[in-house]
Structure 1
Amino acid sequence: MFKLTPAAADQVFKAAKQGGTEGLCLRLAAGRNPDGSIDYRMGFDEPTEDDIRLTSEGVDVVIAPEYVPLLDQTVMDYVELEPGQFHFIFLNPKDPTYRPPSDG
């Protein structure tokens, strides 16, 4: 299913605390762009009856059923892309822009 790395989970907890949304679930959504790549969206939200619920690295995650096919097998990480510039990234083998992480 969907997984968070420890670094991503840590940043999610920090963002929830900073934004006053502690106790809410992390909601994920995804959609296909015209070029076939995947657009990822996230925010804090209350779960609904229809949501798929999971816990990864202590983070409660909810996904509406229609987004599960795009998010299955995805790993969300929090990395430094440039010095001092940290971002959430989504590693998804279903995305044509996906490149497996290299060692080092």
Structure 2
Amino acid sequence: MEVTTLAIEKLKEVMQEQGETDSSLRVIAMPAESGGVQYMLTMEKETQADDTVMNLDGVNLLMDADSIPFLEEATIDFVENFGGQVGFVINNPMFASAGGCGSGGCGCGDGGGCGCGGGGCGGH
């Protein structure tokens, strides 16, 4: 998995704004009923026994063992105009995206990306 420099900078800003500087970003990927992949982003303070931890410029990303196969070719980025919104996206050339976007939270959109609107991350 790759995370762009802009996404790391924006993650730090979000974590600071939400008082989550001691948290990690959990990236969850799971098969969707449609055959694609559904992604979720959440802030968590604790790691689990099967987590892989990536530290990118002071930001910890957590991935559980079930999610890793779906994230190998994924890139997390931050875009200024994702369907008219500002937020984080997960692009993965290996899998089509599935799921519906929710406002203010992290959810998946059509077109191979996963958007996180409202400037913050929360799980669905």
Unaligned runs of 5+ in 2: 97-110, 114-124
- The separation in 1 between residues aligned to 2:70 and 2:76, in whole angstroms, is 13
What does residue 14 of structure 1 align with? 13
Contact 1:77–1:90, Cα closer than 8 Å, also in 2: yes
What does residue 89 of structure 1 align with? 89
Give, in angstroms, the shift of residue 57 of structure 1. 4.2
Residue aligned with 1:66, SS: coil
The structure in which a higher percent of residues are helix is 1
Tell me the amino acid that sits aligned with residue 12 of structure 1: L
1:23-102 to structure 2, matched below 5 A, reads 23-45=22-44, 46-81=46-81, 85-96=85-96, 97-98=111-112
Contact 2:30–2:66, Cα closer than 8 Å, also in 1: no
Tell me the amino acid that sits aligned with residue 60 of structure 1: N
How many residue pairs were aligned? Answer: 98
Name whichever of 58-67 and 74-83 sits farther off.
74-83
RCO higher in structure (CA 8 A, sep ≥6): 1
Larger-Rg structure: 1
Relative to structure 1, the CA distance from residue 20 to residue 69 in structure 2 (aligned partners, 3 Å threshold; closer, same or farther) is same
- The separation in 2 between residues aligned to 1:36 and 1:58, in whole angstroms, is 34
